[in-house]
Amino acid sequence: MASVQIADVRKAYGSTQVIHGVDIDIDDGEFVILVGPSGCGKSTLLRMIAGLENISGGEIRIGPKVVNDVPPKERDIAMVFQNYALYPHMTVADNMAFSMKLRKAPKAEIEERVSKAAQILGLGNLLERYPRQLSGGQRQRVAMGRAIVRDPQVFLFDEPLSNLDAKLRVQMRTEIKELHQRLKTTTVYVTHDQIEAMTMADKIVVMHDGIIEQMGAPLDLYDKP
């Protein structure tokens, strides 16, 4: 776990400024949701935390460390995408093990972490299947499994539920919250769905056109006239 500090962060694509001096302090273990309409800059901000986009100004810290110039692989983060990004030719177990294999982790440790993640996510009897043999919800669990196995300091979620049908979306909200209560990993989660934000977040950051419009606990934000 680690805190994440976003201080006066800006982003321009060419001459177009899309993030204008954003400040967010995320505590160790906090579950923060960035919410706002399409195009407001949520995904860009998340990708800057991941190191997948350069930042045009300001500073991002993960724990005590300024990560502005740290490449994605050296940031202790794991990202879950809406399109799952599973490897189609690998089994569930191999998908979950892949990043640890790349890092040349010992085989026994890989097996232990994969089996623990599978148990947490209810994937125990699906380990030998391929992604095409899974339902949407199961695929999303495998994508989360890949993130858990790495035991990162920070989880980043980019609209992870938007490809799922309404019923499964509600179920997965609960599962992701339970996962967070269990692991307490600092989480930054992007969605355009206000209900998702209300039901899942410790803190909601409402963005609009590259600025923060409101920030606070769900009840503090929406209880007021």
Binding-site ranges for ligand ADP (CB under 6 A): 13, 18, 36, 38-44, 50, 52, 72-73, 77, 79, 85, 98-99, 102, 146
Nearest distance from C-beta of residue 148 to ligand ADP, angstroms: 11
- The residue among 141, 85, 93, 86 whose CA lies nearest residue 114 is 93
Cβ of residue 225: shortest distance to ligand ADP, in angstroms? Answer: 27
Fill in the DSSP letter of residue 16.
E
Tell me how far, at minimum, the Cβ of 42 lies from ligand ADP, in Å: 4
Q: How far is the CB of 146 from ligand ADP (least distance, A)?
A: 5
Q: Which is nearer to ligand ADP, 87 or 174 (CB)?
A: 87
Amino acid letter, residue 118: A
Both tokens of 199, joined, read: 């039901």
Nearer to ligand ADP, 171 or 221 (CB): 221
Asked if 131 and 93 count as a contact pair (C-beta separation under 8 A), the reply is no
The residue among 195 and 219 lying less far from ligand ADP, judged by its C-beta, is 195
User: For residues 36 and 131, which CB has a smaller minimum distance to ligand ADP in the complex?
Assistant: 36
Residue 98 vs 130, nearer CB to ligand ADP: 98
Buried b / exposed e across 64-85, counting CB within 10 Å, b at 16+? eeebeeeeeeebbbbbbebebe
End-to-end alpha carbon distance in the chain: 36
In terms of C-beta density within 10 A (0-12 exposed, 13-18 middle, 19 or more buried), how is residue 57 classed?
Answer: middle
Cβ at position 37, least distance to ligand ADP in Å: 7
